[in-house]
Every structure is written in C-alpha cells, then in structure tokens.
Structure 1
Amino acid sequence: MVYINDKEVSKKELNRISKRIVENAETIEDLQKLSDFRAEHSKIIKSFVWSLRSIINNKKIKLSNNRNSIIISQRLKRLPSIIGKLKRFPELRLGRMQDLAGARIILPNIKDTEEVANYLKNKVYKQKDKNNFLFIREKNYILEPKEDGYRSIHQIFKYQGKKEKRLEGYQIELQIRTKLQHQWATSVEIIDSIKQQSLKTGGGDIYYREFFKLSSKLIEYIELNKDISEISKELDRLRELNREFNILKTLSSLRVITKRLEEITGEGYLILILDYKGNSIRYIQVPEENISRDYLMYEREYKEDTNNVVSVSVENLKNLRKAYPNYFLDAREFVTTIGKYINNTEE
C-alpha cells in the first residue's frame, strides 16, 4: 500500500496505471495520480539532501580541501522520462521505480567519489532502523562504465519511516560523480535536446555515440592520471569525428541567457520551462504543497511542444547552473576539457 495525498492507494492500482501507460491508454486521472505519487517523494528527498549536506560538512569524512566546490542537487523525475522508462521496460511498475526522486552530488575527483560512496553505504546508512534511510544497493559505473561511456556511482536508499511512517519503504536514487564525469553527462543531454537524439537511452546517431564513448575514455585517463599516449588512436579518431561533424563547435556555440534567476528566494520548488528555439528559460516558483498539481499542469501544457519542463529545488538556486548546465545549454567546460587534448578548443 502507498499513499497519495494522504489517501491509501494499492500497488495493484499503480500497476494498472503503469500498464495503461505502456499501452498508451492512460487517462488524465492516471497522470494526476502518477504526479501525486511522484510529489510524495519530494518529502523524503528533501530530508535526504539535508542529511547529505550535513555529512559533507562533517570533518569525519576525509575529503579534499575543496569542499566548497561540492554541489548537491535534487529533482523530481520528468513525466516524459517516467513514461519513456515504463515503455522501455514494460515489466517495470511505478511502485518499483527507484528514481522518481533523485539527488546528485558532484565532487572534485575520483578519490572523493569513492570516499562519499563508501561512507554512506558502510557507515551512515548501513544499519536498519538507525537513521531515516537505509542503503539498499549500488551500481558502480566508474569501475564498470556503461556501454556508451557513462560513468558515475548510483546508490539506492529506502526511507525507514522514522518521521513520516506512511512513506516507509519509498526509495530514492543518489548519483555520485566527479566534475569531469558531470561535464560529459550533461553534454550528452545537451546534444539529445538540440539534435533530437536519444543518446542517453542508447539511441542516437552512431558518430555521436562514438564521439562520446571515446571522450569518456579520455576523461577516464585524465582522472586516473594514466599515460594519454596509450590512447593515441582514440584521440586521432576523436579529432576525425570532431572535424567531420563539428561537435565541439556546435556545443561551444550554444548558450541560454536567463536574467534575475538569482533573485528568487524562499522555500519550495522551481519549475523551469526550457525554450531552446527561443533561447530562453521561463521559471515559476512553486510551494512544495503545490508541486504535484503545477508540475503536471505545465508538463501537459507543453506536451506537444519542443519545450522541456523540469522541476528542481529552490534550495539549489545558487548552484543551479553548475548542477544543471544542460538546462542552459552550457557545455563550455566539456569543450575546454576535450579540446585541450585533441588540439581543437573551439570557443
């Protein structure tokens, strides 16, 4: 049994909604329940992020001295992403989806990512009933990168219901990645957005897939201080792809300018409407209690449009551009990183 707006909803009902979505037979009521269920996770992800910040500030965890550069952010999964995932994995059900709410921590280097990942799973959240959250499992895509080159550590945590008993068992996902891994991942999302690719889900043009896979290998060598000359053939191929398809030039020519974003203050969430054709971002501040209704309203309003609708926590506004450079089509750091090694820093 789960709760939506304080009302009990059976997992069988969520399963039926999942099935109707896969069959393209969902109703407006189904989407509202989905949005309400997603919004319930905002209560626990907020608590989780608060605890993460406390942990990072705790001197017991051994991190590099550059703690001020660490970025922690949170988001609620976009409706098109939820629907797309259900259709890619027809056996998956809403009640078992682990990333309806997610947090991300971006750290300076590999050593810090390993330290944080091990500290969370082996010390802070290891014991049942001790804290608000319990570590469930981990996928280490740094040790074993995905086929497309994606590298990060994913951890799943379960809420133990110490403060919100009715939400006991809800799961959230934490992504732990380095700054360079973040540059790579957000650049992939930018190409997906502006070139109508699907690289993030395993699709897209073969030359983009090859370029990003090779650039991930380069980043791995940079981060691990390996001898770059060992991948000279890969670098040559990166140069060829870049010359032929102008990938770095395309990325460096993009930018969305948004004014007065830093002036927003207060509690709640921020809904961003990303209009890449108009080179603009519209933002709406929403109280936490209204996030389900308003998020779904804007997602439905722009359903047939090229605009993307996303929701982030207002607490992250200070570092919003750093946490989500893809929203601003800002791949400058990735272009600089890769360009330095293929002698083609196209600014």
Structure 2
Amino acid sequence: MKQNIYDVREWDRFLIPYTQTVEELKVKFKSIRNGYREVSEYSPIEFITGRVKKVSSILEKSKRYDIPFDQIKDQMEDIAGIRIMCQLLDDIYVVVDHIRERDGHDFEIVYEKDYIHDYKDSGYRSYHMVIRYPVQTAFGLENVLAEIQIRTLAMNFWATIEHSLNYKYRQNIPEGIRKRLQQAAIAVWSLDNEMLQIKDEIMQAQALFEANSNIIRSITDQLQLIKTLGNSEIAAQLQAKFDQILDLSSNEQLEVLLEEIQSHIPKIEEL
C-alpha cells in the first residue's frame, strides 16, 4: 500500500482483490450448502455473508495496532471477511472440517482460533479461521488474507448486538450493559446446547422440508413442460390434482403424482 492514504483511486485498486476474494468464497461455501440441499440432506450451513472492511475501519485499526501502511496487506487479516451461520453447535465443526479438507488446494489455512470453548471475557463465541486465498484479478495474481467466522444463528445475534454497542460507546460499553451482555451470552450458550439435544428431530425436519421443496419444484417444472408441449387439458387436470395434494402436505402423494406427470410426457411428445 502506498503512503498516500487519501487517494481514493489507490484505495479502490487496493481493495479489488479483497472484494473478489469475498465474492468467490461466498460462491464456494454456497455451493457446499446447495450440494446438501440438492440431495435433500440437512445442510450444516444455513447461510453465508461477506464483507470488505471500509477504508475508515482499515485506517482506524492500523492506527490502533500500529500497523504501517505498507504492511497492511500482510498484517491485517480481516479486510476480507466471510461469516458462515449454522443452526447447531455441531454444525460449526462440520464446516471447519470442510474448510480443512480444502487446505492446500484452493487456499491455505494460516491459523485457527476456537472461541467457542475458549470464549472471550465479553461472552463472545465463534470459530475463526484465517486463510490465504490466491485470487486472479485484472491486474495479476494476489494472495489475499481473509478471515472466516463460523457461528450459530444465536451466537451471531449476540455478536451483532455487541458490535453495535461497541460502535455506539466507542469500544467502552458501560459496566451495567456489559454485565447484561455477559448474561445474554450465557443464555445464548444454553439455547445452543438445548437445541443440540433435539438435533435428530431438527435434522429430520430440515431433510423432510428439503425433500418436499425438491419434489414440488420438479412437479412445477414438469407441468410447465406439458403446457409448453401444447396439451393444456392434461396440464389442467394434473394441476388440479397437484393443488389438492398440496393442501394435504403429503410427500408420498406428491411422489406418486410426479411419477404420473412424468409418464404423460413421452406420450405427449409423440403426438
């Protein structure tokens, strides 16, 4: 990074590989989630977000930690940030294993920090992984440091509130509010552990929901195909059956209907 910290164009160019890294990593992790869902299995990943740190935040952190401007690229690990949210505590470590399996392939793990069990005094819990990601930009290859945070939905809710309060009070949250946050963190940990006790039921419910969604998508696609082929009468009859079964929420009947719809298509195509 050059010394002219006020040149907007320099910052725009400096942040290009970070922006690209965030977008590429989001695609990779979403593809893992979608892979589970495509085969109607429970996904350890609920959703993914990403962000590139604002220039003002980069400058503030470089000042706070005494990072020279020409060392920002090598010493600031969270300019590119990915956050992966999970439903259950166990899911966090499944995701961690997925990331470890890719170490040395499409990125390199620099280090890991388990704040789940070794939580911060504030009550903050999350699993952090810093990776070095090679990204090919319009200006050449860059090896970018990126931080991945993996946490439950409940942990993320707590962390978002704490972040907002830290911003409001400039990292100096009043003691009374700080104690309430710590109590809330204990409640979040208790909630996550309670949800873990009904893990099997949650996973079965999610798998059933995904299976139902996949069948419905297949039926609507096939009905549209029949309409496109020009047999509106059969399409209307099958649509009426579909509407009736939807009210019953029966996967078994939906599967039977899908087979019936699929059996009509070759006959219609022959006409």
Give the TM-score, by structure 1 length. 0.49
Contact 2:165 2:173 in 1 (8 A): no
- Partners of 2:192 and 2:135 lie apart in 1 by 39
Q: Residue 99 in 1 paired to residue 78 in 2?
A: yes
Q: Quick one: structure 1 residues 134 and 197, their matched pair in 2 at CA, closer, same or farther if it must change by over 3 Å? A: same
CA distance 1:27–1:75, change in 2 (3 Å): closer
Equivalent residue number for residue 281 of structure 1: none
Q: 1:28 to 1:80 in 2, by over 3 A?
A: closer
Corresponding residue for residue 238 of structure 1: none
Residue aligning to 2:108: 134
Between the aligned partners of 2:137 and 2:42, the Cα distance in structure 1 is 34
**Greater CA radius of gyration, 1 or 2?**
2
Q: In the TM superposition, what is the alpha-carbon distance from 1:163 to its structure 2 partner?
A: 7.7
* TM-fit CA distance, 1:174: 1.1
State the shift of 1:64 in Å: 7.5
Residues 48 and 83, structure 2, Cα contact 8 Å, conserved in 1? yes
1:57 counterpart = 2:34:
yes
Q: Tell me: CA distance 1:205–1:116, structure 2 relative to 1, closer, same or farther (3 Å).
A: same
Instruction: Check the 8 A contact 2:109/2:132 in 1, yes or no.
Output: yes
Aligned match for 1:117, one of 96, 101, 107: 96
The 2-side partners of 1:27 and 1:118 are apart by 39
Question: What does residue 186 of structure 1 align with?
Answer: 160
What SS does the aligned partner of 2:194 have?
coil
Question: Equivalents in 1 of 2:77, 2:121: separation in Å?
Answer: 22
Unmatched segments (≥5 aa) in structure 1: 1-13, 18-25, 227-347
Change (3 A) 1:49 1:217: same
**In structure 2, what is the Cα distance between the partners aligned to 1:164 and 1:137?**
28
| Structure 1 residues 95 and 214: alpha-carbon distance in aligned structure 2, compared to 1, 3 A threshold | same
The alpha-carbon distance between structure 1 residues 142 and 70, as it changes in their structure 2 partners (threshold 3 A), is same
Give the Cα separation in 2 of the matches to 1:192 and 1:162: 36
Secondary structure of the 2:143 match is coil
Q: Is 1:98–1:156's contact at 8 Å kept on the other side of the alignment?
A: yes
Instruction: Report matched runs for 1:1-347 at 5 Å.
Output: 14=1, 17=3, 27-29=5-7, 32-59=9-36, 65=42, 70-91=46-67, 93-96=71-74, 97-121=76-100, 123=101, 125-127=102-104, 130-131=105-106, 133-161=107-135, 166-193=140-167, 196-199=168-171, 203-225=172-194
Contact kept, 8 Å, 1:66 with 1:108, in 2: the verdict is no
Q: Report the Cα distance in structure 1 between the residues aligned to 2:175 and 2:139, rounded to whole angstroms.
A: 48
* Residues 1:78 and 1:218: Cα distance change in structure 2 (over 3 Å): same
**For the residues of structure 2 that align with 1:64 and 1:207, how far apart are their CA atoms?**
44
Cα offset for 1:221? 2.2
**Identical residues among aligned pairs (%):** 23
User: How far, CA to CA, are the matches of 1:153 and 1:59 in structure 2?
Assistant: 22
Q: TM-score, normalised by structure 2?
A: 0.62
Partners of 1:211 and 1:192 in 2: CA distance = 14
Q: Is the 8 A contact 1:39 1:76 kept in 2?
A: no
Amino acid at match of 2:133: Y
Q: Deviations over 1:149-173 (max 9, x none)?
A: 1111111121235787933321111
Change (3 A) 1:64 1:217: farther
CA contact (8 A) 1:149 1:217 kept: yes
1:112 alignment partner AA? D
Displacement of 1:179 after TM fit?
0.4
- Is the partner of 1:111 in helix, strand or coil? helix
| Higher relative helix content | 2
Matched residue type, 1:118: D
The alpha-carbon deviation at position 139 of structure 1 amounts to 1.2
> Contact 1:76 / 1:101 at 8 angstroms: preserved in 2?
yes
Instruction: Report how many residues are paired.
Output: 190
Shift of the alpha carbon at 1:91? Answer: 3.7
Structure 1 distance, partners of 2:17, 2:117, is: 33
Residues in 2 aligned to 1:58 and 1:186: alpha-carbon distance in whole angstroms: 28
Aligned CA distance change for structure 1 residues 179 and 104 (closer, same or farther; 3 Å): same
Query: For the aligned residues, what is the CA RMSD?
Result: 2.8
> C-alpha distance in 2, partners of 1:117/1:76?
22
Indicate conservation of the 8 Å contact 2:103/2:109, yes or no: yes
